[in-house]
Amino acid sequence: MPGKKYSDAKRRYDNERLHSPTEAIDVVKSLAPAGFDESVDAIIRLGVDPRKAEEMLRGTVSLPAGSGKDVRVAVFAQGEAAAAAREAGAEFVGGDELAAEVEAGMLDFDVAIASPDMMPTVGKLGRVLGPRGLMPNPKTGTVTPDVAKAVEEFKGGKVEYRTDRQANVHVPIGKVSFDAEALQANFAAVMEELQRVKPAGSKGRYVKRVGLSSTMGPGVKVDHTAYA
């Protein structure tokens, strides 16, 4: 059952109206009911068929105003790459010993990055990392010889996106405490990225629905007619 704050927030705006991105962000900020700095999320329904590999979108987008999140990073690397990852600020760095910790249940991180030579080891962690969306993947830049650069990018505001089974893409675009201009810039970056990766096989309207919400707040519909 929705809480009283959520219900009160939902009564304070027209939840059927399509808002411009600027209006939607203002509404989301005004309706955030929690006593903490909630995330602001964009949910985009796309005209793709996720059952087709070529229409299953997965990648990353750099948010120009940052994500506002303190991202914890684990890096599977050895030697100089491991040293560079530590210098870049990775919380957990190692090879076989880190893999053993993860297999035993240590999952205190938000992003996992691996150097290519570590993938035979990391591949064995698929049943642990896969269900949590943490498996390193070249498509998202989390399998890379330059692990230090990847650490800096994810800590600096790079976020991952992927289509779910219903063809929705769910992306965090910042925090309620961000000013409206920062959230608008991040939202625009997400929409531009989704346009950039539009599959050639996508038929009809590509962007079907767009909504914004805070972690605990109601969804606000966004006018998506500006997007193909």
- The parent domain of residue 136 ranges over 73-155
Instruction: Identify the burial level of 214 via C-beta atoms within 10 angstroms of its C-beta, where 0-12 means exposed, 13-18 middle and 19 or more buried.
Output: buried
Shared-domain flag, residues 54 and 162: yes
In a domain, 121, yes or no: yes
In a domain, 193, yes or no: yes
In a domain, 149, yes or no: yes
Helix or strand (DSSP H, E) at 7: helix 4-11
Shared-domain flag, residues 61 and 79: no
Shared-domain flag, residues 100 and 114: yes
Alpha helices by DSSP H, the chain? 4-11, 21-31, 79-88, 96-103, 119-122, 126-129, 147-155, 180-196
Helix or strand (DSSP H, E) at 62: strand 58-62
Tell me what pLDDT residue 10 has.
59
Tell me what pLDDT residue 31 has.
85
In a domain, 227, yes or no: no
Shared-domain flag, residues 77 and 151: yes
Tell me what pLDDT residue 49 has.
93
As a whole number, mean pLDDT of residues 52-78 equals: 94
Residue 68 · residue 162 · CB < 8 Å: no
Tell me what pLDDT residue 226 has.
72
Shared-domain flag, residues 82 and 121: yes
Q: How far apart are the first and last CA of the chain?
A: 36
Binned at pLDDT 50, 70 and 90, residue 1 comes out as very low
Shared-domain flag, residues 140 and 31: no
Domain count, the chain: 2
Distance CA 144, CA 140 (A): 10
Residues 6 or more apart from 194 whose CB is under 8 A from it? 44, 46, 57, 161, 169, 207
- Least confident window among 26-35, 58-67, 111-120, 198-207: 26-35
Q: What is the CA radius of gyration of the chain?
A: 19
Distance CA 91, CA 190 (A): 27
Shared-domain flag, residues 87 and 146: yes
As a whole number, mean pLDDT of residues 75-97 equals: 97
Task: Look up the pTM and report it.
Answer: 0.84
Shared-domain flag, residues 186 and 124: no
Mean of the per-residue pLDDT values for the chain?
A: 91
Distance CA 45, CA 159 (A): 18
Tell me what pLDDT residue 204 has.
87
From 155, 184, 208, the end of a domain falls on 155
Binned at pLDDT 50, 70 and 90, residue 209 comes out as very high
CATH code of the domain containing 115: 3.40.50.790
Distance CA 154, CA 167 (A): 24
Shared-domain flag, residues 194 and 214: yes
Q: Count Cβ atoms below 10 Å from residue 28 Cβ, excluding itself.
A: 28
As a whole number, mean pLDDT of residues 133-156 equals: 95
In a domain, 98, yes or no: yes
Percent of the chain surpassing pLDDT 70: 93
Shared-domain flag, residues 114 and 86: yes
From 155, 184, 199, the end of a domain falls on 155
From 101, 134, 155, the end of a domain falls on 155
In a domain, 228, yes or no: no
Shared-domain flag, residues 180 and 215: yes
- Predicted confidence (pLDDT) per residue in 12-36, tens digit: 677 788 999 999 999 999 888 667 8
CATH code of the domain containing 190: 3.30.190.20
Shared-domain flag, residues 101 and 148: yes
